[in-house]
Amino acid sequence: MAAAFMPVCREDLEARGIDQLDFVYINGDAYVDHPTFGVAIITRVLEHAGFTVGVLAQPDWHRPESFLALGKPRYAFLVSAGNIDSMVAHYTVAKNRRKTDAYTAGNVAGKRPDRAVTVYSRCLKQAAPEVPVLIGGLEASLRRFAHYDYWDDTVHPSVLEESGADLLMFGMGELEILEIANRFRQGQTVQEMTDIRGTCYLCDPKDTPIGSVECPSYALVSTDKKSYAKAVRRQMDEQDEVTGRRMIQRQKEKMLVQNPPMRSMTQEELDEVYALPYARTYHPMYEKEGGIKAIEEVEFSITHNRGCFGGCNFCAITLHQGRHITCRSEESVVEEARLLTKNPHFKGYIHDVGGPTADFRLPSCAKQDKYGMCKGDKKCLAPTPCKALQVDHSEYLHMLRRLRELPGVKKVFIRSGIRYDYLLADPDESFFDELVQYHVSGHLKVAPEHVSDAVLDKMGKPHMEVYQEFVRKFYAKTKKAGKEQYLVPYLISSHPGSTINDAIELALFLKKEHVHPEQVQDFYPTPGTVSTCMYYTELDPYTLEPVYVPKTREEKQMQRALLQYFSPANRDLVLRALKKARRYDLIGTGPNCLVRDVPHPSHGKDEDKGGRAWQQNRKGGKKTPGPRGKKAVKRKPSSGR
């Protein structure tokens, strides 16, 4: 059985005979002791190293004294907004307030503040100014440099300066927190901890370390978009544990110093982290409120890898976990599965065996460990796989086979997503065959994201013919296996580079393929991604060439509606989009039409006489007749490029 939860109240401290904790972890989520939650991993790692830690989940930020419920720690307060950015937790992409919060007891919204890292840190500095405050987790990690804030529509300085915290840890954090904790134990002060990899600190400009890579200052990136784009490229280029250099960026008053990224954990270290005695559920104090919904999908899931060399521009993993792949041993994963089978709530189904990308077990190429990842916009998979790419699913496949054979396991699913382009690059189709045969729960989620090559290039994704090849093979193998299974494509509307014509092209593709997506994601410009840089600057940070960005509420609504053109609720928006693009050939009852409507006013005279409406061929200026209301003119849609 798992060990007890970390102390959450004074009574817990008294029961354990603890007078003063070494660390107090302040968390924006409710307390869940499961290894897919950052609070669980960091506190268990510290406990395993001999430190005492308490967890103060979702304290009342209106009363700074509430942050001292567990007393003042001996070494430091640790602050995290939780598993996701607090602003994403609170607001939709349309900036509407969310009504629920899966990371809070009873799914109740409003139990944490906006920009939780900043608010919590300021409260702590007010309540206990002499105690160091260390910030980490996703929110802090992705806001470590001056960054565009979508919700304020402006550039903010580093969260380290805004929050008043003493040190920032970026990335996954286990090795950083152990180094910091051991230095505290040895008598160092936080002001002396200026050389720890994977951390950022602030200093007076006169104390700036020499030999650093400099980013344009906050003053410059907040007023000049080209400078912002250049800064983002430098940050991405140095986000490598092998070649990454120390970086500096002047904030409002202080100089931000980012040390090189921390090395990845070895397989042995990662195995040790996942073997720690997690309770694997939420704290029982939440039971009376209905529990924590966020545990439902991950309670019976297993994380086997970290990092992702997929390099999607809209994904924050590059700046957080990095592109270097590290994975647990097969024995470690199998042992965790055995633990799952002993859980009284386990029904025989392992929901996922994955990570950022489920089927990555190897470094992207043989040179990666020695020379690091390629810089700039060179990608391992897009638009086509690099010739040096290592592709091998055999180890992952062998591990899945062992999991399927465990007593008590009925099914092992893969739900965290695979890279279908990586899958197709494998000449051995054994994994593909067994994926279809054993590991699809009726629907397999994949992420083509779009169909326009121009948009896919801005996303850092492979072109559509790769996805179409995967679809063809998937359904052929599904048929051969005698199963009824379907692909569920993830799609993004209004991504930088996407014009109305690109959105129409995607709608036509969906119609042709008889795909009716129930959910689509409007592009969300969150901190720390290349795509967010494009959204703000309207520049590609790698080329500095202009990028078209749909920004108005109207156009974003139209692009999103086009992906669900078949919904009656979207009829008016789709009509407006088609008329704006002058695609009258797609309005009517013909086989290619997306929506019905009365004749366009400019065609009214012809229609009144019962004649044919004349439509302008946009490519050659040629007029082609199109019988209104009978059969629309069939024409290859424009990509908008």
Percent of residues, the chain, with pLDDT higher than 90: 86
- Hey, what amino acid is at 564? Q
Q: Which residue has the tokens 């040629």?
A: 622
Q: What is the pLDDT of residue 519?
A: 80
Strand partners, 133: 77
Structure tokens at 503: 């959105």
Mean pLDDT of 69-82: 98
Q: What is the pLDDT of residue 417?
A: 83
Q: What is the pLDDT of residue 598?
A: 59
Residue 559 has pLDDT above 60, yes or no: yes
Residue 18 has pLDDT above 90, yes or no: yes
Q: What is the pLDDT of residue 637?
A: 36
Residue 628 has pLDDT above 60, yes or no: no
Residue 59 has pLDDT above 60, yes or no: yes
Q: Which helix (H) or strand (E) holds 629?
A: none
Residue 41 has pLDDT above 60, yes or no: yes
Q: State the DSSP code for 97.
A: B
Closest to 134 in 3D by CA, of 189, 79, 71: 79
Q: What is the pLDDT of residue 631?
A: 36
| CA distances for 108 relative to 29, 154, 286, 425, 498, angstroms | 11, 29, 12, 45, 35
Structure tokens at 589: 């009852």
**What is the Cα–Cα distance from 47 to 586, expressed in whole angstroms?**
63
Q: What is the mean pLDDT of the chain?
A: 91
Structure tokens at 407: 């007593």
Residue 621 has pLDDT above 50, yes or no: no
**What is the Cα–Cα distance from 593 to 109, expressed in whole angstroms?**
42
Give the pLDDT band (50/70/90) at residue 260. very high
Contact 306, 264 (CB under 8 A): yes
Concatenating the DSSP letter of every residue in 302-358 gives: EE-EE------TT-SHHHHT-S--EE--HHHHHHHHHHHHTSTT--SEE-EEESSST
Mean pLDDT of 398-420: 95
* Domain segments of the chain as ranges: 10-200, 267-511
**What is the Cα–Cα distance from 398 to 148, expressed in whole angstroms?**
44
Q: What is the pLDDT of residue 78?
A: 98
Closest to 352 in 3D by CA, of 234, 472, 456, 439: 439
Mean pLDDT of 256-273: 97
Structure tokens at 452: 């326009």
Q: What is the pLDDT of residue 520?
A: 86
Q: What is the pLDDT of residue 377?
A: 82
Strand partners, 56: 26
Q: Hey, what long-range contacts does 632-635 have (CB within 8 A, 24 or more apart)?
A: 632/585, 632/586, 632/587, 632/588, 632/589, 632/590, 632/591, 632/592, 632/593, 633/585, 633/590, 634/585, 634/590, 634/591, 634/592, 635/585
3-state secondary structure of 453: helix
Give the pLDDT band (50/70/90) at residue 416. confident
Q: What is the pLDDT of residue 633?
A: 33
Strand partners, 91: 97
Structure tokens at 364: 């992207």
- β-bridge pairing 76-80 and 133-135: parallel
Q: What is the pLDDT of residue 626?
A: 37
pLDDT tens profile 565-579: 999 999 999 999 999
pLDDT tens profile 539-548: 999 999 999 9
Q: What is the pLDDT of residue 596?
A: 87
Mean pLDDT of 599-616: 36
Q: Within a 13 Å sphere around the CA of 358, how many CA atoms are in the beta-carbon half?
A: 28
pLDDT tens profile 214-224: 999 999 999 99
Q: What is the pLDDT of residue 368?
A: 85
Q: Which residue has the higher pLDDT, 614 or 301?
A: 301
pLDDT tens profile 118-143: 999 999 999 999 999 999 999 999 99
**What is the Cα–Cα distance from 134 to 168, expressed in whole angstroms?**
6
Residue 527 has pLDDT above 60, yes or no: yes
3-state secondary structure of 196: coil
Q: What is the pLDDT of residue 627?
A: 33
Flag the least confident range among 181-185, 229-233, 294-298, 633-637: 633-637
What's 10-200's CATH class?
alpha beta
Alpha-carbon dihedral 87, 93, 95, 96, rounded to 10 degrees: -100
Q: What is the pLDDT of residue 3?
A: 58
Residue 599 has pLDDT above 90, yes or no: no
- Hey, what amino acid is at 160? L
**What is the Cα–Cα distance from 336 to 508, expressed in whole angstroms?**
45
CATH 2.60.40.60 for the 267-511 domain, yes or no = no
3-state secondary structure of 366: coil
Residue 169 has pLDDT above 50, yes or no: yes
| CA distances for 449 relative to 162, 323, 422, angstroms | 35, 20, 16
**Sign of the CA dihedral with 23 first, then 27, 31, and 35 last:** negative
**Sign of the CA dihedral with 485 first, then 503, 449, and 155 last:** negative
Residue 638 has pLDDT above 90, yes or no: no
